[in-house]
Structure 1
Amino acid sequence: MIRRSSTTNLRRKLLVAAASVACMLAAPANAQSSDYPKQPIKIIVGYPPGGSGDITGRIVADMLSKQLNTAVVVENVGGAGGSIGAQRVVSAQPDGYTLLVGANNEIAINTLTNPSLKYDGINDLTHIGLINSQPLVLVANPKSNIKTIDDFVRKAKESPESLAYGTSGIGTSFHLVGELINHSADIAMLHVPYRGAAPLTTDLLGGQIELGIVVLSSALPHIKDGRLIAVGTTELERSASTPDIPALAEHDSLKGFNMGNWYTFAAPKGTPDDVIAKLQAALRAGLSDPEVRKRLEDAGSRPFNGTEDVNDFLAKESAKFKEIVSFADLKK
């Protein structure tokens, strides 16, 4: 009897001790997330400085710094269509101090076109909210005699496979837009991939290629000085910053056409729920600030509200991209 009682008491003491240790171990983690942030935050952008992704990232950094009263820095980790930067965040400690401003390429497209990619941009990240969407634009060199969407469709149908368009690379959102135009208008433009937007722009301005698909904000200076013709923008409605440029969707053969470059704000999977909640609140508050919205609009984009169902949006966009990749046979 004595031995049994002693054994029982010992077991109880061990259980109490184990519970105490578990509480002690859990306490720092809870404290760490509840007083977040207590150190600078890093935002990864998967593109070089100066582009639309970098501009969006820096606007978000300023917004977050103001809302959370902490330092926020942007680190540009370019390469592989944004995938290197995204992979950095996927692999980061899920503590809320390494975040991603990611575009549709590295979030939803690259995983469809590159089976060797080691992450899933939708499922391997926690998406905090949508930031903005930026239209692309189909532009033409003036020597092409393409001035309107009608001109473009007519020439493409009259000369099948002789009309070429350039983009900044195979499998990019720009390439997918071109293939969606082909599919929707029942035409067959040839795709000419370039190593980035700079050499494409040089050839467009020089007349070495007739058409190109580029970011609207980047093309605007050349459109305004008459060196490029804006045929049509790629989102459903005209851009607020360029109401005189028609949307491709206004043409009968391209009705419903809608595809731009969007950016989402994301954290490593496993980031504590209360940290995600703080970041969501900061994003929503920031995107409701008229000054922030004006900065995004001045950069040629359409701000989201931060209240949209980001996961539903990503699922629908991914399905659209998957369909384009399939009918254009873009999978490597």
Structure 2
Amino acid sequence: MKFSFSLGLVPLLMLSLHAGSAVAQDASYPNKPITVLVGYPPGGSTDLTGRAVADQLAKKLGVPVVVENVGGAGGAIAAMRATRAPADGYTLFVGANNEIAINRLITPATVKYSYQDFTPIGLVASQPMVLVASPSTGIKDTNEFLTTVQGKPGRFSYGSSGIGTALHLAGEMVKEQGGLFLTHIPYRGVGPLTTDLLGGTLEYGVFVLSSGLPLIRSGKVVALGVTEKTRSPAAPDIPALAEIPKLKNMDISVWFALMAPPKLPTPVLTRLRAALNEILQTPEFRKTLEAAGSTIAPLDVDMPRFLADETAKYQKVVDFAKIKE
């Protein structure tokens, strides 16, 4: 009996030692380099955001923070890798709504994770998209756009950087709310989209604001309105589409969030959230992102609710447009 009792204590003792070790590791976090995954090649808005976050995290946490670009599948490869990484706080993910929420709605057969498979640390920033017209159309504002397109259903097209992107969804939201019949033309990036707009072979397009502003400022395209509910501080002279009564519910943006693998220990999550809140208030960080056309997120956004609300919004647009790849 004594021998059996001793054997029964062994697993309990091992569990206790393991729990004590885990608590100690959590308390000492971080004590080695952190990797931040980004789902796109260097140079884009998600990469810029990820690098700005990584730079400031290194300063706040006192350990090296390295960005690893893992491109492919519209950011889904990096996102999936993040959901499967050890939940120790040493692998993080900076992603946009495309790879966190939208991809799953468009390609459920291949994207095997959802936003619920992350531990959300916090929202970083957002950036509106902007609906533009080719100068060849002669369109100067949103009212003219609505009147013209409604007058000739199916005659006009708009372009985006690809099927199922936030830009595509923004265009479909305009169609839904405006009661418009516009044909969507998917492009492989903003380069060919820009070429066709400037050449007059495409009437309308949707850009991320930071990509569209140089074209707008130079007069190469005409800005009709930004897609967020209110005007952007980066371009206060461009109206919000929602200022038009028919489009009053337009509110969609490209947003960026810092995420971690599921089941992140509470002490590690608390440490990372505190660091992110400090970062969002850092002048250097704010200047970097605002110069790129982004608006810094409010502190302590209720991320589970935010992600659920955003995904429901995207699902409605996907269902309306019957978007599938």
Sort the TM-score into its range (normalised by shorter chain): over 0.9
Matched, 1:174 2:167: yes
2:78 maps to 85
> Given that residues 180 and 324 in structure 1 are in contact (C-alpha distance below 8 angstroms), is that contact kept between their aligned partners in structure 2?
yes
1:160 maps to 153
1:20 maps to 13
Q: Mapping of 1:145-156 within 5 angstroms? A: 145-156=138-149
* Identity percentage of aligned residues: 48
Give, in whole Å, the separation in 2 of the partners of 1:238 and 1:184: 19
> Given that residues 125 and 269 in structure 1 are in contact (C-alpha distance below 8 angstroms), is that contact kept between their aligned partners in structure 2?
yes
C-alpha RMSD of the superposition? 1.4
Give 2:292's aligned amino acid.
A
Q: Mapping of 1:71-110 within 5 angstroms? A: 71-110=64-103
> Given that residues 118 and 259 in structure 2 are in contact (C-alpha distance below 8 angstroms), is that contact kept between their aligned partners in structure 1?
yes
Structure 1 residues 284-318: Cα deviation after superposition (integer angstroms, max 9, x where no partner): 11112233222221110111133010110111111
> Given that residues 129 and 227 in structure 2 are in contact (C-alpha distance below 8 angstroms), is that contact kept between their aligned partners in structure 1?
yes
1:3 maps to none
Higher deviation after alignment, 10-19 or 164-173: 10-19
- Secondary structure of 1:21's counterpart equals helix
Q: Deviation at 1:222?
A: 1.3
Q: Mapping of 1:203-218 within 5 angstroms? A: 203-218=196-211
Question: Which segments of 5 or more consecutive residues in structure 1 lack a partner in the other structure?
Answer: 1-6
Give 1:164's aligned amino acid.
S
Higher deviation after alignment, 301-310 or 126-135: 301-310
Q: Deviation at 1:59?
A: 1.1
Give, in whole Å, the separation in 1 of the partners of 2:319 and 2:14: 54
Give 2:70's aligned amino acid.
V
2:134 maps to 141
Structure 1 residues 85-119: Cα deviation after superposition (integer angstroms, max 9, x where no partner): 10111121221111111111111111111121343
Give 2:137's aligned amino acid.
S
Give, in whole Å, the separation in 1 of the partners of 2:244 and 2:313: 20
> Given that residues 103 and 111 in structure 2 are in contact (C-alpha distance below 8 angstroms), is that contact kept between their aligned partners in structure 1?
no
> Given that residues 139 and 229 in structure 1 are in contact (C-alpha distance below 8 angstroms), is that contact kept between their aligned partners in structure 2?
yes
Structure 1 residues 15-66: Cα deviation after superposition (integer angstroms, max 9, x where no partner): 3333322223333322222111111111111112111111111111112111
Give 1:205's aligned amino acid.
L
1:199 maps to 192
Q: Deviation at 1:144?
A: 1.3
- TM-score after normalising by structure 2: 0.96
> Given that residues 124 and 258 in structure 2 are in contact (C-alpha distance below 8 angstroms), is that contact kept between their aligned partners in structure 1?
yes
Give 1:63's aligned amino acid.
Q
> Given that residues 167 and 200 in structure 1 are in contact (C-alpha distance below 8 angstroms), is that contact kept between their aligned partners in structure 2?
yes
Give, in whole Å, the separation in 1 of the partners of 2:12 and 2:78: 40
Give, in whole Å, the separation in 2 of the partners of 1:261 and 1:143: 28
Q: Mapping of 1:112-131 within 5 angstroms? A: 112-131=105-124
Give 1:69's aligned amino acid.
G
Q: Which has the larger radius of gyration?
A: 1
> Given that residues 80 and 113 in structure 2 are in contact (C-alpha distance below 8 angstroms), is that contact kept between their aligned partners in structure 1?
no
1:243 maps to 236
Give 1:296's aligned amino acid.
L
- Secondary structure of 1:123's counterpart equals helix
Q: Deviation at 1:250?
A: 0.7
> Given that residues 149 and 232 in structure 1 are in contact (C-alpha distance below 8 angstroms), is that contact kept between their aligned partners in structure 2?
yes
Give 1:130's aligned amino acid.
L
Give, in whole Å, the separation in 2 of the partners of 1:69 and 1:305: 24
Give, in whole Å, the separation in 1 of the partners of 2:140 and 2:43: 29
1:226 maps to 219
- Secondary structure of 2:67's counterpart equals strand
> Given that residues 35 and 66 in structure 2 are in contact (C-alpha distance below 8 angstroms), is that contact kept between their aligned partners in structure 1?
yes
Q: Deviation at 1:251?
A: 0.9
Distance 1:118 1:138, change over 3 A: closer
- Secondary structure of 1:100's counterpart equals strand
> Given that residues 128 and 264 in structure 1 are in contact (C-alpha distance below 8 angstroms), is that contact kept between their aligned partners in structure 2?
yes
Give, in whole Å, the separation in 2 of the partners of 1:177 and 1:98: 31
- TM-score after normalising by structure 1: 0.94
